[in-house]
Amino acid sequence: MQWERLGPYRIERRIGRGGMGIVYSAVTDVTGERTAVKVLPTDGRDDGLSERFAAEIDSLRMLSHPNIVRILGYGEEQDCRYYVMELIDGLNLQELIDRGQPLLWQEATRIGVQVCRALKHAHDHGVIHRDIKPANLLLSRDGLVKLSDFGIAKTFGNSGLTADGGVIGTAEYMSPEQADGRPVTSRTDLYSLGGVLYALLAGRPPFRARNFVDMLQMQRFAEPEPLVRVVPTVPRALNDLVLHLLQKDPAKRYANGGEFGARLTRVYQQLKAQWDGIDRHEHFDTLRRLSFFHDFSQAEIHDLLRASEWREYMAGDEIIREGTADDRFYVIVTGRVSVESNGRGLGMLNSGDCFGETGYVSGARSISSFRAQDAVTVLSVSSTILEQVSTECQLRFNKVFLRTLIRRLQGANNRADPA
């Protein structure tokens, strides 16, 4: 059944479905705000779903944190129960994993730290999620992680929703104590977080099995293959942290999200300091090989590196969206970038090419979208920050920039002139 309206919310389209309801995008009548509405039809079949749905609403009402989806309202009408939450413009982490490209350790770590903050807040308010998995973690376009779907969450001291000995959760990320039907604690969510981090870094969950029963057995008894064997570029310190979360004995894991988040942050900072020293030399050598920088002196390249940002995108990521204002200029270091307008492909840019000149020169809105076609690395140069580098570097950059722009305009004219 498709609802046209629930309360003050006009239903648009279905955007998701789970074991306990359907999620639609919707628009609020009064403010025009776009929201997400989760609906549980009351069609005579219950199986405890109504109680769990009510418990999910109660859990979300108790929680208020930047890394947890915010509930906006709830109600019951037209043979259904529903609640309204903020709509996240982005994707879930499972969609990210399904692209088949493991995340860089830096990206996975930043995501992990945010999930830790969400879990600490939930646990401090007596809520155990019990179903931490990539599909329940939403990633907004600006990199903010939101924990969602508290449909099987349990509050401390309340065991009424699951019969003793019952198995509840998602098998690929389920803790051994859940697989055994034993009591859960905050450390249960941390085990599942370990599975999520493993999947982000390896491109797959810690265990693969032929069926549900085999997966439960692996969660109870099998040891995951070390990440450094699956993806050799994963730092050993991060490998050890993730495997520590995947300990079978809950007592051997970190005690809570706050403790693990602090440890993860320290390891990230230590690794970043080590890599930044290496990266500066590698970035310099890489830029020297690009045609855009052939006329730059060594001092000018170093100056430019200090005033720019090295950015990495995965296949399908939008680097610049059509109609948005961006004062940055981009040089493609590796990979391919497609140029699109009104959903139509206009061309392909490759290593050494540049884009973003419209916003860089005038601050005007982009007339095209630029999307990574595969793993892409770009040098991002802000017009504001460039003013802080040496005059020689600014002059050199602007000269090469204008020469590149002229060549692009000449190429466009030649394509337009059949003669």
* Catalytic site includes residue 180: no
The crossing angle, in degrees rounded to 10, of helices 298-306 and 257-288 is 150
Catalytic residue among 46, 124, 131, 164: 131
Q: Which residues are catalytic?
A: 131
